[in-house]
A and B are shown apart, each in its own frame.
Chain A
Amino acid sequence: MTASVLLPPALALFLGAAFMTVAHGRLRAAVMLLAPLAALALVWQTPDGNAGISGFLGYDLVLVRGDRLSRWFGTVFALMAFAGGLFALNQESRLEAVAAQVYAGGALGVVFAGDLLTTFVFWEIMALASTAVVWSAGGASRAAGLRYLLIHLLGGVLLMVGLAGEAQATGNLAFNAMTPDTPARWLILAGFLINAGAPPLSAWLPDAYPQSSYSGMVVLSAFTTKTAVYVLLRGFPGAEILIWVGLYMVFYGIVYAILENDMRRILAYSIVNQVGFMVAGIGIGTELALNGAASHAFAHIIYKALLLMSAGSVLYMTGKSKCTELGGLFRSMPLTAVCGIVGALAISAFPFTSGFVTKSMISDAAGQEKLMLVWILLAAGSAGVFLHAGIKFPWFVFFQRDSGLRPPDPPLNMRAAMVLFSFLCILLGVAPGLLYRWLPFTSTYEPYTADHVVTQLQLLLFSGLAFFMLLGVLRRTPTVTLDIDWFYRRLGPAAAAALGKIIGSAWKNTAGATGQATADIGGLIGRVARESVLARAQASGTMALFAVLMLAVYLVVEFVR
């Protein structure tokens, strides 16, 4: 196949999104479902090889790079876009529907981008579109969405500077495996890691995602962090620091999820935790570990979306999301409960679910590399997953005490989306060969050995036991937990306000500045910029004075040199 007929898979979703801005009703719904299927078809007809344009600023841009890894992620992203669209059919907000489609298109663009600049462009499209998804929920999502956007723009800045440095040093923009050994590459790595939810900025994820709508969080959970996994897998396989970053994320997610009361925030922390496993796998860097990270991403997208659909259904039907306000819903929402449990079993890597056949590859890779400590920590992390997501979520929402709520199961399309993903969770667990055939790196792996199954069951059994023994401690009360984001949500503005006070009193001319005590950093700088003598409209005499001052500055500089 030649470049001229090669269509980027992302195009299907972008065109779909453009169409959805004008279409209404059933037509819009049809596009919402058909565009992802068209993208899926394009993913599968993308051949190995590169297609793009050359000579942009003297660099070759590869808009579409087909290989096993890109098709692997492309497949699950297109699937996710389809199921997310199906689940969101009753969503009133047109903005969310369009933004979600653009967001998915950006993700597909990233996984097929063959150079750093193209990657960056789609990366930023994702950042903007996902912010729009958060914002479309309205209300409290505005501030959270803004924080989310700023952090992702910061990530984009690091990435842009890094890729400029890489271009400067190597003379090309090709995006292939690198080792982090120059400042430019460290910047690229940092830019990638911010999207993965890595420390110290993990907090953006549980801050913003739960503010989105019941359907918005389903799509948000899939793309940003998993494209980050993809680019790390492509760019930095075997970078040792990733092992430790990943392990930090694993335990960060567990600790905060256990402390958390809001079911969707629990699941948000659990995303960080699960991505931690993948990042650690990428850090280990053997073919088995990379296969493990890629397939775990694949399985994770499906079961995490399933869990969030289940949680989203509860939110949609009850309007509540705090564990303390929910409970006993299995009576009236049996299908939602069953699907939630399937997702919970899959995330816990229960045998015969998708999580089991993927996660064990990562810990096995650690074992094969004789990384004893890593292996132990991963095993402990697995137990923790069962504790916080595997039991805690379904237990507090669907069982526990009876909250008295009796909502029915959600509408047909939402049930269909949940059943589809439940089916996939089990299918991949029962017949892992379907998955393994297409793995990015060819290898043979057998998950169902007696050793594996027994180890995993023991792990699950004991952590399950621990959960119920510690139930008294784990029972949630409405609490607030502190995270790094406290620094920029509370400390930063407070410090800025204090600074404002000091500057304000020192600067008598700017009378307004004293009123800045409660303003945030932006407001402060804005006030200085607006009202300070430097930016205001000036009398001609002042302008002349400035000209003389500048002359004096130049003379002094030149005479003292």
Chain B
Amino acid sequence: MIATHLPALQVVIPLLAAPICAMLRRGSHAWAWATVVSWTMPVIAVAILLQVLEGGTISYWIGSWEPPWGIEYRIDTANAFVLVLVSAIGAVVMPYARASLEREMPADRQVWYYTMYLLCLTGLLGMAATGDAFNVFVFMEIASLSSYVLIALGRDRRALVAAYQYLIVGTIGATFYVIGVGFLYVMTGTLNIADLAERLPLVENQRPVFVGLAFLTVGLSLKLALFPLHFWLPGAYAHAPSVATAFLAASATKVAIYLMLRFFFTVFGASYPLADLAIPALWIALSLAAIVLASITAIYENDVKRMLAFSSVAQIGYITLGIGLNSEAGLTGSIVHLFNHGLMKGALFLLVGGIAYSTGAVTVDRIAGLARRMPLTFAGLVIGGMSMVGVPGTVGFVSKWYLVLAAVERGWWWLAVLIVASSVLALVYMGRLVEAAYFRPAPASSAGDQEMPLSMLVPAWVLVGACVYFGLDTGLTAEVAAQAARGLLGTP
């Protein structure tokens, strides 16, 4: 039965596909191969999600070795949802990649891009699927190393610097993570996540466990770009190839957030790291700082990709805020925003990539008056922007709604007011783009600018459409996120 092997196939197929891709000599062949592979991924992921929703948690033993000795892939609603997000984004960006990359890099490098892309996909899906803390580290390294290459392939020389910085910081993050896992292993003698969850209560109040937790938290905070450990992100997103930015922004930080959820809630149990006020208070303070400061920085940023990157830092703040709130509504908000932000930031980066396709650099001044020349691109940008603000009817509203409910539930009215009021900041930075594109006169130099090719426009609009669809039909995402939240909290 193939159905029982789906968790392994999800990771193994792109892993094996990558070296084959490297052997293809022509960019178009590599593209076709990578597209076929990445389009099978969401099929598998959705099948897994359906299995989980129907039959509960899946435990898959790699090589039939029984956990905790063997490596286990353990998939519940939370990571099944993340698998769907990552694989769906991975599939949607592929048709876009071809035209975009042909403009951005010479043909011989394209093969390497697709190879690294498949490895990155492998790593991200593996991090989400596996139930083994050390195996997470292995996949984290696969994903990180390949994404350094993806970023370095950007056409700008600054991409090299950005990739190098990301490499340094990413390595520190991964090292901290593995040190944290090491502490836990020393104390419990196991690396299996489910097993760790059972054994940790026995050694609960011992200092090495605290230290392990601290290393894990900081390591993952670096990976997920939680303020103030977000420095690597704007440079990396601004200078990577457009399609890599869209893919990484929508998926890479999200997987790290998933791991944070997994360690905070499943491994340590909701009662432990978030039980007393100190850590949640710190976590909420950092999240709010991310939301406010990164949004304001985005307002003053002139390079549109950097603006969206700072906006990502702010939006990650909303996700981590929900974690700090530590309740079903808060976690639902977190998880659903993890998904929703993937959709909307993916859409926005694809659209901006399409503008860059024509204009080269994308600054606020450069897009003045461009809405007339690229009506579809900017219509999508308006919808994506509305989603970023959290207008009802878009996905952005759904996430904020749950976060506000969670704040109100705790009686923290000030926090609820802050969450809603911070939307105004998003209104300002997205409004700047709209104002420039629609209301400013176009300079003569933009006469040759035109809409991106259809193969790029359609994927971008698929994500734009998803922002609206999942904003109206909230049954699917919000229900699954709520179930994932209950699973993490261990409540029925």
Contacts and interface: CB of A to CB of B under 8 A. Distances in A.
B165 A543 contact: yes
B300 interface: yes
B118 to A, nearest CB: 28
B408 A551 contact: no
Contacts of A150: 424
A526 interface: yes
B39 interface: no
B234 A161 contact: no
Given A57-B401, A535-B294, A557-B279, A543 B392 contact: no
A558 B214 contact: yes
B478 A57 contact: yes
Given A161-B416, A187-B413, A553-B282, A529 B300 contact: yes
A165 B416 contact: yes
A44 interface: no
A379 to B, nearest CB: 40
Given A161-B408, A543-B165, A544-B172, A534 B228 contact: yes
A154 B391 CA distance: 15
Contacts of A124: 391
A55 B310 CA distance: 34
Contact of A551 (B215, B234, B293, B398): B215
Interface string B450-492: 0000000000000000000000101100100000000000000
B405 A546 contact: no
A161 B214 contact: no
Interface string B271-308: 00000101100100000010001101101100000000
A554 B417 contact: no
Interface in B331-349: none
A153 B424 contact: yes
B470 to A, nearest CB: 12
A430 interface: no
Contacts of B137: none
Nearest to B479: A58
A540 B231 CA distance: 9
A157 B408 contact: no
Interface stretch (B13-21, B76-84, B105-113, B217-225): B217-225
Contacts of A558: 210, 213-214, 278-279
B231 A161 contact: no
Contacts of B211: 555
Contact of A554 (B214, B276, B299, B424): B214
Give the size range of A's interface with the partner.
35 or more
A351 to B, nearest CB: 47
A537 interface: yes
Contacts, number: 126
Interface centre among B172, B293, B296, B408 (most CB of A within 10 A): B408
A161 B420 contact: yes
A543 B221 CA distance: 12
B420 A526 contact: no
A120 interface: yes
A292 B221 CA distance: 60
Nearest to A540: B168
Interface string A155-181: 011101100110110000000000000
Contacts of A55: 475
Given A164-B405, A547-B169, A550-B221, A537 B234 contact: yes
B324 interface: no
Given A167-B405, A526-B296, A547 B218 contact: yes
B472 A56 contact: yes
Give the size range of B's interface with the partner.
35 or more
Nearest to B478: A57
Contact of A555 (B214, B234, B413, B474): B214
Contacts of A4: none
A98 to B, nearest CB: 12
B111 to A, nearest CB: 30
Contacts of B413: 161, 165, 183, 187
Contact of B408 (A121, A165, A537, A559): A165
Nearest to A529: B296
A111 B49 CA distance: 43
A160 B404 contact: yes
Nearest to B474: A57
A494 to B, nearest CB: 21
A561 B276 contact: yes
B423 to A, nearest CB: 8
A150 B398 CA distance: 23
A542 B218 contact: no
Contact of A537 (B222, B235, B392, B423): B235
Contacts of B474: 56-57
Nearest to A553: B282
A184 B409 CA distance: 11
A550 B218 CA distance: 7
A345 to B, nearest CB: 43
B169 A550 contact: no
Given A165-B408, A183-B413, A184-B408, A543 B218 contact: no
Interface in B228-242: 228-229, 231-232, 234-235
Contacts of A544: 168-169, 172
B176 interface: yes
Interface centre among A534, A553, A554, A561 (most CB of B within 10 A): A554
A365 to B, nearest CB: 35
Contact of B214 (A120, A167, A183, A551): A551
A164 B408 contact: yes
B253 to A, nearest CB: 16
A559 B218 contact: no
Contacts of B217: 554
Contacts of A555: 210-211, 214
A444 interface: no
B148 to A, nearest CB: 13
Contacts of B310: 535
Interface in A158-214: 158, 160-161, 164-165, 167-168, 183-184, 187
A168 B294 contact: no
A2 interface: no
B211 to A, nearest CB: 7
B420 to A, nearest CB: 5
Contact of A546 (B228, B299, B423, B478): B228
B389 to A, nearest CB: 10
A457 interface: no
B23 interface: no
A275 interface: no
Interface in B150-173: 164-165, 168-169, 172-173
A124 B173 CA distance: 43
B478 to A, nearest CB: 6
Contacts of B172: 543-544, 547
Contacts of B279: 554, 557-558
14 contacts: A157-B424, A161-B408, A526-B296, A534-B228, A535-B294, A540-B164, A542-B231, A543-B172, A550-B221, A550-B228, A554-B213, A554-B218, A558-B278, A561-B276
Interface of A: 55-57, 117, 120-121, 124, 150, 153-154, 156-158, 160-161, 164-165, 167-168, 183-184, 187, 525-526, 529-530, 534-535, 537-538, 540, 542-544, 546-547, 550-551, 553-555, 557-561
Given A56-B474, A165-B416, A550-B221, 19 more contacts: A57-B478, A124-B391, A153-B424, A157-B420, A157-B423, A158-B417, A161-B416, A164-B404, A165-B413, A525-B296, A535-B310, A544-B169, A546-B228, A551-B176, A551-B214, A554-B218, A555-B214, A557-B278, A558-B213
The list of the 8 closest CB pairs from A to B, nearest first, reads A554-B214, A529-B296, A540-B168, A164-B404, A558-B210, A535-B297, A538-B231, A161-B416
Interface of B: 164-165, 168-169, 172-173, 176, 207, 210-211, 213-215, 217-218, 221-222, 227-229, 231-232, 234-235, 276, 278-279, 282, 289, 293-294, 296-297, 299-300, 310, 391-393, 398, 401, 404-405, 408-409, 413, 416-417, 420-421, 423-424, 427, 472, 474-475, 478
